[in-house]
Amino acid sequence: MTPLIDNIVFDVMILTHYHLIWQVNSVIINAMIDVTLLGTAATMPLPERALSSVLLRYDGRTILFDCGEGTQTAARKAKVSLMKTDLIALTHYHGDHIFGLPGLLQTFGCMGRTDPLYICGPEGLKTAMEPIVMLAGPLPYRIFLSRMGEGGLEFGDAVLKGFNVEHRVPCFGYEFTLPRAGKFDPKKADALQVPLHERSVLQHGENITVGTKVITPSMVMGKERKGLKVVISGDTAYSKELITHAKDADLFICDATYGEDVYSEEAKLYGHSTFSDAAKMAKKAKVKRLWLTHFSQTMERPEDYLAYAWGSFPEAVAGEDGKTITLRFEDEEDA
């Protein structure tokens, strides 16, 4: 790897495991995902709307999806911290999704960050990031530009995958999945003479040996239960690939640049979705929640256009800066 300037590694690495920054815990402290919309504007920021950005936090780690202008201010207003961001996952390199980066990288340095920062994205990452990090100036931490292996990036028990959507430049949507193992069956463990102190090892997906016999998790665990999934569309027109990845998502955050159906051809031409497009994709994917975002500056009140979405997906809501949700496994939501 060849640094172009001190501490910035521009050779794009292929990573399948974020073992460098994500220590896999034997026990997950919090089996929940926090998601905050930081910026919901497209093209240009408005007083109440920063440009595109979403913050996801899981098990003490943070992923920032895109970093449009106003992201830092939006985070302050939402009372969330960006300072411990581990990974910045960019959907694409249009200005309204990356122009907040130089300032954020510089702020990290000013606040004394020394931990490395990883940035990933679709084709063209190195070319797009060179001027960005040059603008940020000398930094006291290393930046690694990374691209995903075919299986995505593993974060402990969770997996982040990027996939292609329908924009006019290379663009990723992202799928963040937290699987959930089946219930542990103590009777099966007793029959196999599994020691009490080793049962947690099996519960976390690892084999053990009892005497000369290898015991696998499948021998003491029930059928895998429904986990959690968050899908972020990036900028996209109606996309079959996006529907596939969003299937059964607990939260689907989708491009809804245009409110009215009269703009459907224009939306398709520029690689964007209408409220109706987003709702139709949500319906086909059978998602649990749909948050619309990336609103045109011509929409002063995005909620006024929700009727265009409700025809296909009555639960659709218009996202707003600072909107936050904590996702838990289904049987824990009311606990």
Cα 237 to Cα 270: distance, rounded to the nearest angstrom = 8
Q: CB count, 10 Å around CB of 218?
A: 14
Identify the active-site residue in 96, 235, 255, 321: 96
Identity at 186, one-letter amino acid code: P
Contacts of 324 (CB under 8 A, 6+ apart): 34, 35, 36, 37, 78, 80
**Is residue 96 flagged as an active site residue?**
yes
Residue 47: C-alpha distances to residues 50, 296, 323 (Å)? 8, 14, 16
Backbone phi, psi, residue 150, to 5°: -60, -30
Cα 43 to Cα 160: distance, rounded to the nearest angstrom = 27
The separation between CA 129 and the C-alpha centre of its own chain, rounded to angstroms, equals: 20
DSSP SS3 for 121: coil
Whether 86 contacts 22, CB under 8 Å: yes
Cα 3 to Cα 46: distance, rounded to the nearest angstrom = 37
Cα 97 to Cα 271: distance, rounded to the nearest angstrom = 15
Active site residues: 96
